[in-house]
Amino acid sequence: MEKIKMTTPLVEMDGDEMTRVIWQWIKDILILPYVDLKTEYYDLGLEYRNATKDQVTIDSANATKKYGVAVKCATITPNAARVTEYNLDEMWKSPNGTIRAILDGTVFRTPIIVKGITPYIPTWTKPITIARHAYGDVYKNTELQVPANTTAYLVSVDENGNETRELIHKFGDSAGIVQGVHNVDASIRSFARSCFNFALDMKQDLWFASKDTISKKYDHRFKDIWAEIYETEYKEKFEAAGIEYFYTLIDDAVARVIRSEGGYIWACKNYDGDVMSDMVATAYGSLAMMTSVLVSPDGNYEYEAAHGTVQRHYYKHLKGEETSTNSVATIFAWTGALRKRGELDGNADLMAFADRLEAATIKTIEDGVMTGDLYLLSKLENKKKVNTEDFLKAIAERL
3-state SS track over the chain: CCCECCCCCEEEEECCHHHHHHHHHHHHHHHCCCECCCEEEEECCHHHHHHCCCHHHHHHHHHHHHHCEEEECCCCCCCHHHHHHCCCCCCCCCHHHHHHHHHCCEEEEEECCCCCCCCCCCCCCCCEEEEECCCCHHHHCEEEEECCCCEEEEEEECCCCCEEEEEEEECCCCCEEEEECCCCHHHHHHHHHHHHHHHHHHCCEEEEEECCCCCCCHHHHHHHHHHHHHHHHHHHHHHHHCCCEEEEEHHHHHHHHHHCCCCEEEEECHHHHHHHHHHHHHHHCCHHHEEEEEECCCCCEEEEECCCCCHHHHHHHHCCCCCCCCCHHHHHHHHHHHHHHHHHHCCHHHHHHHHHHHHHHHHHHHCCEECHHHHHHCCCCCCEECCHHHHHHHHHHHC
State the binding partner of 274 from ligand NAP, Mg ion, none, CB within 5 to 8 A by kind.
Answer: Mg ion
| Residue of 135, 317, 109 lying closest to 222 (CA atoms) | 135
Q: Shortest distance, CB of residue 78 to ligand NAP, whole angstroms?
A: 8
For Mg ion (CB under 5 A), the number of binding residues is: 2
Q: Shortest distance, CB of residue 132 to Mg ion, whole angstroms?
A: 9
Residues 24-63 that bind ligand NAP (CB under 6 A): none
State the binding partner of 278 from Mg ion, ligand NAP, none, CB within 5 to 8 A by kind.
Answer: Mg ion
Q: Which of 261, 278, 322, 397 binds Mg ion (CB under 5 A)?
A: 278
Residue 246 to residue 260: CA distance in whole angstroms: 14
Q: Shortest distance, CB of residue 268 to Mg ion, whole angstroms?
A: 11
Q: Which of 114, 287, 338, 380 binds ligand NAP (CB under 6 A)?
A: 287
Q: Which of 310, 370, 380, 399 binds ligand NAP (CB under 6 A)?
A: 310
State the binding partner of 294 from ligand NAP, Mg ion, none, CB within 5 to 8 A by kind.
Answer: none
Q: Shortest distance, CB of residue 161 to ligand NAP, whole angstroms?
A: 44
Q: Shortest distance, CB of residue 235 to ligand NAP, whole angstroms?
A: 34
Q: By the 8 A CB rule, do 315 and 275 touch?
A: no
Q: Shortest distance, CB of residue 361 to ligand NAP, whole angstroms?
A: 13
Of 85 and 278, nearer to Mg ion (C-beta) is 278
Residue 65 to residue 83: CA distance in whole angstroms: 30
Q: Which of 197, 291, 309, 378 binds ligand NAP (CB under 6 A)?
A: 309
By the rule CB under 6 A, 106 interacts with ligand NAP: no
Residue 338 to residue 358: CA distance in whole angstroms: 11
By the rule CB under 6 A, 308 interacts with ligand NAP: yes
By the rule CB under 6 A, 373 interacts with ligand NAP: yes
Q: Which of 100, 307, 340, 341 binds ligand NAP (CB under 6 A)?
A: 307
Q: Shortest distance, CB of residue 355 to Mg ion, whole angstroms?
A: 31
Interface with ligand NAP by CB under 6 A: which range of 75-83, 145-153, 177-185, 233-241?
A: 75-83
Q: Which of 190, 326, 347, 378 binds ligand NAP (CB under 6 A)?
A: 326
By the rule CB under 6 A, 250 interacts with ligand NAP: no
Q: Shortest distance, CB of residue 221 to Mg ion, whole angstroms?
A: 24
Q: Which of 38, 312, 318, 359 binds ligand NAP (CB under 6 A)?
A: 312
Q: Which residue has its beta carbon closest to ligand NAP? A: 308
Interface with ligand NAP by CB under 6 A: which range of 68-76, 147-155, 175-183, 233-241?
A: 68-76
* Residues lying near ligand NAP in the complex (CB under 6 A): 74-77, 96, 287-288, 304, 307-312, 325-326, 373
